[in-house]
Amino acid sequence: MSRRHFLHAASAAAAGILVGGCAKETLPGWMELDPSPTPEATPVVKPTSAPAAQVAIVHAPTYDRALIRERVRDVLDGIGGLGDVIGSGDRVAIKVNLTGGTSVEPLDGVLAIESYITHPEVVRALGELVRDAGARELFLVEAVYEWDSYRQWGYEAVAADLDATLIDLNDTQPYSDFASTPVGEDWFIYPEFTFNHILEEVDAFISVPKMKCHWSAGVTHSLKNLVGLVPARFYQTDPRHNHRSGFHGTEQEMGTRLPRVIVDLNRARPIDLALIDGIKTVDGGEGPWNGTLSPVEPGLLFAGKDPVATDAVATAAMEFDPTEVRSHAPFLQSDNHLNIAHERGLGTNLLDEIEVVGPAVADVRIKFEPSGK
């Protein structure tokens, strides 16, 4: 059973769950180490059940093509490979993060692909491995600000090399109309979304974001990446806006509305695999429009088949608590969508339920400044 079908089947079991705000005291401690037992101390009893999720971490210091192919393969091998995600003859969509469009002035001396958008070499390596796993058709998808985002940032070349099809999710192509895709029972903000039909028809869906903080969502990893699934023009409160202002609502609503829209999106189009580009990114926000940002090079890739867990591990590697509540870093402006996703059964953000494969989180942490501090 695919993750998409499982989540829809499980939605009835989640009926009645009200998320409002997750009380932190009901969650386990954040990155606390058990004290070393002494002769007088009672040993800590460890749970015998297997972790609910696996997330792999690998080091990748540069975007060198050969190195990235090796490290993407390694990080996927760490979570058991692609055999349970992609079957022979499958159609697969990879959602990248090409936020802002080409008119945004990048950071001084730093390319957009090395600071705030998904690097095409990560997608190239992933696409090659997806093809090797038996995918019949491959689609690279994003609701781009303009088609030139694909050309200027190297995605036309990657698509040609992979024999993949580029899809602008703002458009109906290659179909004649849009789909209305339901969220399922107990939706928060939207009962359904306007999607390109390709999102309903693919057999596997992969989210490949850049590892970043975010002004209005705290962090933007695989779950938040799905905000770029919908045609922007249908989700704007004013046609002059260049973002999905309907997702944010008013300034007073944003902190409760946007995190729940993120969860609605992930229920409508569940993620089968998350691969986070944390090799080179930015600190303090999601893009140059946030003000003064600085480039940072964590040199990391994260992968998991539980996207909530994958995002939680990446968040912990940024020295943040993935179970934190609103008004605490990094979720300064909004409720924590990872908590809400966990409550809705999309996955776990509790670190003691996650098996980290590769280096320990404590050994790869790099301090990020939250957006809006």
23 lies in some domain: no
Instruction: Tell me which residue of 189, 186, 339 sits closest to 257, measured CA to CA.
Output: 189
46 lies in some domain: no
The Cα–Cα gap between 19 and 346 comes to 13
Q: What is the pLDDT of residues 330-356, one digit of tens each?
A: 999 999 999 999 999 999 999 999 999
Q: Residue-wise over 85-120: b if at least 16 C-beta within 10 A, else e?
A: bbeeebbbbbbbbbbbebeeebbeebbbbbbbbbbb
Strands, DSSP E only, in 258-341? 273-278, 281-283, 294-296, 300-304
345 lies in some domain: yes
Range of the domain at 201: 3-11+53-364
Neighbours of 178 (CB within 10 A): 17
Q: Is the pLDDT of residue 317 over 70?
A: yes
Confidence of residue 251 (pLDDT cuts 50, 70, 90): confident
The Cα–Cα gap between 140 and 234 comes to 22
Share of the chain above pLDDT 70, in %: 85
Lowest-confidence segment of 39-43, 242-246, 320-324, 369-373 by average pLDDT: 39-43
pTM: 0.86
pLDDT at 106: 83
Instruction: Tell me which residue of 125, 138, 132 sits closest to 203, measured CA to CA.
Output: 138
372 lies in some domain: no
Contact between 56 and 304 under an 8 Å Cβ cutoff? The reply is yes
Q: Is the pLDDT of residue 5 over 60?
A: no
pLDDT at 51: 62
Query: How much is the mean pLDDT over the chain?
Result: 87
77 lies in some domain: yes
pLDDT at 285: 80
The Cα–Cα gap between 113 and 246 comes to 28
218 lies in some domain: yes
- The token pair that represents 282 in the structure block: 């930015």
204 lies in some domain: yes
How many structural domains are present in the chain? 1
Q: What is the pLDDT of residues 47-77, one digit of tens each?
A: 344 566 999 999 999 999 999 999 999 999 9
End-to-end, the C-alpha distance of the chain in Å comes to 43
Confidence of residue 134 (pLDDT cuts 50, 70, 90): very high
Q: What is the pLDDT of residues 205-226, one digit of tens each?
A: 999 999 999 988 999 999 999 9
Contact between 330 and 371 under an 8 Å Cβ cutoff? The reply is yes
202 lies in some domain: yes
